Structure 1
Amino acid sequence: MNLNDHILLWNHVFIKIMDVRHTILAPGELQPYRLPSSAFLYIVRGEADVYLDHSRHRVERFHVLHGGKGARLRIFPDSGLEYYLLLYRATPGSANLREIIRLMEQDNPFLDQYAFVPHNPLTLYEKVELLEREWGDGSGLGKLHVRVLFHQFVYELLSQLYSQNVQAQKPDLVMQAADFIREHYSSAITLQQISGELDCSAGHLSRLFKNRMNTSPIHYLGQVRVERALELLLQTDATLQEIAEHVGYPDAHSLSRSFKKYKGLSPIRLKNELQKRKTSQDMPFSMLKSAVQQGLLPGYSDIENQFHYRPEGDLFMQGRFKFTAMTMVLCLSLLLTACSGAAGTNTNTNAAGSGNTANAVAAETAAPASAKPEEQAAAAQTTRTVSTLLGDVEVPANPQRVASDQYMGQLLKLGIIPVGVRSYMLTESWIADSGISADTIAGIEDLGGFPMNLEKLAYLEPDLIIGSIEKNIEDYKKIGTTVFLPYWEGESTSGPLDKFRRISEIFGKEQVAEAWITDYEAQVADARKKIEGIVKEGENVSVISVSQGTLYVLGAKGGNYGSSTIYEMLQLPPTEKALNMKDGYENISLEVLPEYLGDHVFVYGSGSEGASEILDTSVWKALPAVQKGQVYKYGSSTGEDDEFVMEDPYSLELQLDSIVKVMLGEK
């Protein structure tokens, strides 16, 4: 940030002095302290190593350091240290509010971290000494003098800061958030609380976290809890209830659900698996755990505003899963073991549950059981060439063992029952209404998160793997033929019908896909007739998502959470801003919301945590659409596990029905 913008902010923000402290430390470490607000640290005498987050500063007399809210401060004095700590909070004032908020979101200097020795240290010392004395006075006049002295201190500091061309370091909000989560995982924390601790918006933090970690902060919180619970499960005799309460879950049932979501197994079964491997394999226990555990940060989840996930972003913190030599040995042994039972495990791919379309199509496309061995061999050798973003791939013409980290609904609608999928796929809400038998779903192996568990994947011997994240493709290729089909492209997603067609092309099932699309388009035409006249000629609509106190406006193309059903299928007219959202969404503040809304407003996740921070405000209640009753709330109360999370054919049919019922006042 240049000096003029920095000065502009100091002139137009409201400064509240939170505390002024004069401290003398004996040798030893100051316990880690998370700054409750922005702060200046002014060293009077002594020498020390001072850490702001993970940055080390060697300081001595007259050093000045600055850190923002949420930064972790640690001090290691050599032989004692005397310093002043000035804690303050900066909030936008009323004048030029939008410009100030824009500057602070773009480059907030009140969160900057820096350390330097000013050229005129005694001038600053006089200000700080008097400031601390007046702070202790406690009178109203003294407090007024504190504000004056603080601004004088800042004036002198900025002058010297820029004259020395000191380069400030931006705080690493992602690592600060991860540190905060690891420190407070046993408490009931929310995204809003985490962002509040770091003095940034929830939406901004969520985007940064997902770009860096390939997962959301709340999903990461769940991983931290489950990892700690697993340690306690293996190292102690504590009960599940005791462990659950210790790591932040209300009861053992909630802990078990999270274990299945993150690890693919229940706590007890996972413990038994690990102990069995420990005693039966000639391999270090720590390495054996990798065969079942996913490790921290498996990546993307399908919940919590995932329409802005960037697959090209940095991979998660612990790095991509790498095959060590020992892991390769384990995979080979698993493959050899699997060969003897391949015939038995193959059967579930062609098992047809009675009365459901997917299984019926699967039965039609499966190779006849009576086929001669030579005919089966010829069929197995037949291949097709599929074009992908990573080049052409030769795939089996009729793959029998498909594994995929996305697209389970699309595969089933094409009559393809995968042998294994990512954990989240097995709990999607559309399954209950799909007519697919429980036995069929139970026969699909849970392969964990992103990337899919490679040992379990190798054991299944897939003849075709579909991966949706480019960084995982090379690992999948080591196991079998892999096709890269991104679910997200940049920050937006292709239309759901186009996506379905792309998947059908991989398997040569274009006719099956087009038959469903034709039927679905007939349902859409019928739905349009039902809602005809609700949105009148000349009116337009907006789609927003509210969750955790954050606000997103979804675009006319490339969005998610039902926006494609509303805009592309039902052809409800979007606003000009929705038409021009190249990324498929925009994260906005409440103040500018009226500029984005049309005559009718669809609200996704109105019952989710933090939604009331938007929907109970005077700004929201004053909107014309709200006052006219032209607001349509849809989606589950949590914003998770409902038909609007995914865009497979089953979800699209449910979305269409739900939106029509909401508009007609039936839901």
Structure 2
Amino acid sequence: MVFLMCDLGIKVEDFNPKILYTFERKFSEGEKYDNHNHDFLSLIYILSGSCNYIIDDIPYKVKKGDLLIFNKGVYHERCEIFGNDLIEFHLGYENINIKNRCPNKLLDSTQTPIINFLNYDKDFIKCLNEIMAEQQKDDKGKYLTIKTLAMKLIVIILKETYENINTKDKGALNIDKYDKLTIVNTMMEFINENYMEEISLDIISQNMYLSPMYISKLFKDETGETPINYVIKVRLAKALELLKETDISIKEVAKSVGYNDAYHFSKLFKKYYGFPPSKAKR
């Protein structure tokens, strides 16, 4: 008989991931991490500090308590560390097979790669601490125990993120009582009014009093794109308008639409429009 593990999309008898690595690492201010991807699943948990990551050309500011999930093939780079040293815990997995997803993909296309636990934060932290403690031991069963704990970590993440997202999610409205389109339109209005400020899925969700995963899926279902991609589209459209109609510099245009890094802005602009910002000026 075949069982699904708590409806998490994994067959119990097939759940045997290969643990490639588990380690803690400190990064100092100014230390960078070149853009790259993996052919396996990679997890990074921020133990302390904060920094910027660019994930598939989208910038994210991450901080202590954030879990970064990089599916197979997802490009990512650490581009800026703020203040004190950044400490991360890294895990690598192979042979992860989730129902209706490609191998070594823990998230689907509607989900943000930055996870903030709403329901299972204590379980996750406890399991992660047990892994880190086990690594310090000189014990014959050390690696077997670490594998067991690393497998448990995947289960906890799936319990938090697996696409059985519905109105039972913490903070989610009962969709029978509220119009989906009204929620999406409210999100769009918020983005249109605040695109020039620091904006993230967390900030949008806090404004909406809804969970980040829920609004991400809802927005994707209704519009065909993620909220963050919509932010980028709004910013770049406004940037194109400023470049055509004003004489301000590209750096000033970038800053006025929410990008402090003019190089990153130019890279996004060219990818979206097919030509650099300099060609858009009068």
For normalisation by structure 1, the TM-score amounts to 0.22
Q: Could you say which structure has the greater relative contact order, defined with CA pairs below 8 angstroms and 6 or more residues apart?
A: 2
For normalisation by structure 2, the TM-score amounts to 0.48
Query: Which of the two has higher C-alpha Rg?
Result: 1
